[in-house]
């Protein structure tokens, strides 16, 4: 009996350290698993927040800018013309209607910019009865459809039309139709790359315009800034495979708005355009040009100027 007791004591002496070591290991393993679960819960919460942030369905909005300016001078002899008045009116409307679904999207945008100027010199009978003259005339409509192959990439097709409205409608007019890929790295940035695109140019027979096959690149970016400011930038460029230096073109429009009260605020829009075909036809139509270039290749670089416009005024926005 005494021998058995001694053996039990020796056995328990070996067993207790092993059990203690096993408990410590279990506690360490448990702590490790709990940390992994906490990390996974954090990732799940982040993914759930991202999923909730995705706004599926239709989203629509309109931003309008109205710029007005008027001045009048009567018997103001410090001026060469003592009795003059001038009035300018500018209107810009940006609209969008976007359908975002899990597997596809359909983005539609429209931009129109119109402007008028009236200058009257009461001492000059030639300008005394002047009416409003057109100073700005821009229309741009685009529609982009894409089928998503991943979260950020889609196979897409684009149709874009650009022309003037008040005068020379569709003369010239530009219609781009093409297909390729669209990259959406974040919700407020859309980049279109369509290496298969045809640029149709419509014009009267007395103008010199040419259609061609090329690559279409579009980048559209919107961003909310501090103090209630908003910024929208759209770049649309076409690179002709037939003649990249003469038949390519681009248009870049930046719009800024600051909301003050219930959608009413201040806005500023600035646009750039480069189009050598338009510059060439403008030179041909200018009666003051004595020796017009024989063809577009002979156009002087000084005559191929960057076209610009800007508008500042009161804005009103509607978004849904």
Output the domain CATH number for residue 154. 2.40.230
Integer Cα distance of 143 and 151 in angstroms: 20
Q: What is the DSSP letter of 297?
A: G
Question: In this structure, are 42 and 188 located in the same domain?
Answer: no
160-179 residue pLDDT tens: 999 999 888 999 999 999 99
Please indicate, yes or no, whether residues 34 and 75 belong to a single structural domain of this protein.
no
Q: Within this chain, do residues 9 and 158 fall inside the same structural domain, yes or no?
A: no
CB 169 within 8 A of CB 163: yes
Residue 114 sits in the same domain as residue 183? yes
Query: Does 65 share its domain with 48?
Result: no
Same domain, 22 and 101: no
CA Rg, the chain, in Å? 33
The residue segments making up the domain with residue 105 are: 59-319
Token pair recorded at residue 36: 């992994």
The dihedral built from the CA positions of residue 244, 245, 251 and 252, taken in this order, carries a sign that is positive
Q: Are residues 71 and 200 located together in one domain of the fold?
A: yes
Written as one string, the DSSP assignment of 141-168 is EEEEEEEESSSSEEEEEEEEEEE-SSSS
Same-domain check for residues 141 and 263: yes
Find, among 72, 162, 67, the residue nearest to 115 by Cα.
67
Examine the domain organization and report whether 78 and 13 are in the same domain. Answer: no
Residues 3, 107 within the same domain: no
Quick one: 37 and 68 in the same domain? no
* H/E element, 222: strand 212-225
Per-residue HEC secondary structure of 163-190 comes to ECCCCCCCCCEEEEEEEEEEEEEECCEE
Q: How many domains does the chain have?
A: 2
Q: How far apart are the first and last CA of the chain?
A: 91
189, 270, 277, 301 from 143: Cα distances, Å? 16, 22, 25, 34
Same domain, 66 and 156: yes
C-alpha span between 54 and 51 (Å, rounded)? 5
Instruction: Give pLDDT tens digits along the chain (320 positions).
Output: 555 555 555 445 554 455 555 766 666 777 777 777 777 776 776 665 555 445 688 988 888 888 888 888 887 776 677 788 888 898 989 899 999 999 999 999 999 999 998 888 888 776 666 778 888 888 999 999 999 999 999 999 999 999 999 888 999 999 999 999 999 999 899 999 999 999 999 998 778 899 999 999 999 999 888 877 889 999 999 999 999 999 999 999 999 988 888 778 898 999 999 999 999 998 998 888 888 898 899 888 788 989 998 888 888 876 65
The number of helix segments (H) and strand segments (E) in the chain equals 3, 12
């Amino acid at each position: 009996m005494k021998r058995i007791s001694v053996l039990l004591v020796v056995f328990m002496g070996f067993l207790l350290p092993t059990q203690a070591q096993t408990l410590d290991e279990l506690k360490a393993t448990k702590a490790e698993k709990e940390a992994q679960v906490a990390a996974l819960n954090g990732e799940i919460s982040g993914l759930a927040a991202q999923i909730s942030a995705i706004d599926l369905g239709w989203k629509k909005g309109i931003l309008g800018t109205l710029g007005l300016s008027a001045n009048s001078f009567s018997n103001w002899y410090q001026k060469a013309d003592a009795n003059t008045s001038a009035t300018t009116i500018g209107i810009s409307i940006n609209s969008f209607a976007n359908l975002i679904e899990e597997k596809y999207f359909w983005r539609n945008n429209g931009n129109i910019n119109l402007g008028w100027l009236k200058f009257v010199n009461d001492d000059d009978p030639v300008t005394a009865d002047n009416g409003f003259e057109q100073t700005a005339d821009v229309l741009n409509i685009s529609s982009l459809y894409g089928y998503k192959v991943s979260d950020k990439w889609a196979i897409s097709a684009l149709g874009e039309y650009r022309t003037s409205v008040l005068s020379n409608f569709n003369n010239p007019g530009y219609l781009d139709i093409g297909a390729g890929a669209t990259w959406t790295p974040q919700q407020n940035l859309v980049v279109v790359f369509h290496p298969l695109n045809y640029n149709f140019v419509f014009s009267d027979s007395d103008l010199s315009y040419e259609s061609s096959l090329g690559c279409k690149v579009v980048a559209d970016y919107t961003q909310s800034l501090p103090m209630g400011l908003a910024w929208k930038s759209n770049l649309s460029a076409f690179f002709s495979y037939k003649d990249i230096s003469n038949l390519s073109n681009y248009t870049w429009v930046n719009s800024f708005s600051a909301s003050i009260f219930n959608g009413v605020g201040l806005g500023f829009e600035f646009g750039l355009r480069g189009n050598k075909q338009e510059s060439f036809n403008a030179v041909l139509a200018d009666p003051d040009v004595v020796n017009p270039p024989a063809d577009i290749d002979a156009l002087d670089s000084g005559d191929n100027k960057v076209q610009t416009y800007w508008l500042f005024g009161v804005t009103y926005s509607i978004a849904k």
